[in-house]
Amino acid sequence: MISVVLIEPKTQGNIGAIARAMKNFGFFNLVLVNPKCKIGEEARKRAKHANDILDKARILKKWPKMDYLIATSSKTGRDYNIPRNPVSPKELVKIIPSQGKVGIVFGREEDGLRNEELSKCDFMVKIPTNENYKAMNLSHSVAVVLYELSSLKNSVTPISLAEKKQLNKMLDSALKKMNFVSQDKRDTQKLVWKKIIGKSFLSKREAYALMGFFRKIK
């Protein structure tokens, strides 16, 4: 199940337009995290025939607990900036599963997602826009990503959030047994592995095989 997660949206019009885009492409789960506006008349006017999505929208104070969280951003970094090393929407379709709880996370209208928020996500998606004007309107970004995901036919069942946490716990234990030049090097390895695990959408068999590998590290 794929959900659209909006972080601190402040414009009713954008919320309504996003609901409309969601219904256009067959997505119905909307989550608003600490919204700065209500779902009022303007949002409902923009939503048109997608008011049922607004009616069922979850409004939370904290980020939702999901098996996978996928960030979106127009800001990228160099290879060493791991949190901002993205895939494209077309690449996302090839790896994202059609099962499990998956949240596509969109940031604020003005400045998007912050670095500490990107670290909460498994990896990042960037829409390939013109270099001279990278930032898109929030509702337009949602529409582009959902258009690509509407062709999703992947039937892989990935590991759950609990299994992913256990795998990362074992990874931490394995890394502590290894010698690194500095703590920063160890932290970088941890972040790289977290992104690899997130992007891979491991099956249960693959995850347990990897857990067995980590157990053998002494």
With 70 as the cut, is the pLDDT of residue 155 above it?
no
Q: Is CATH 3.40.1280.10 the classification given to domain 2-149? A: yes
How many of the other CB atoms lie within 10 Å of CB of 67?
A: 20
Please give the model's pTM, rounded to 2 decimal places. 0.74
What residue ranges do the domains of the chain occupy? 2-149, 161-216
With 80 as the cut, is the pLDDT of residue 154 above it?
no
Q: How far is CA 140 from the centre of its chain?
A: 17
Q: How far is CA 114 from the centre of its chain?
A: 13
Does residue 156 or residue 70 have the better pLDDT? 70
pLDDT in tens, 174-206: 888 888 888 888 888 888 888 888 878 788 888
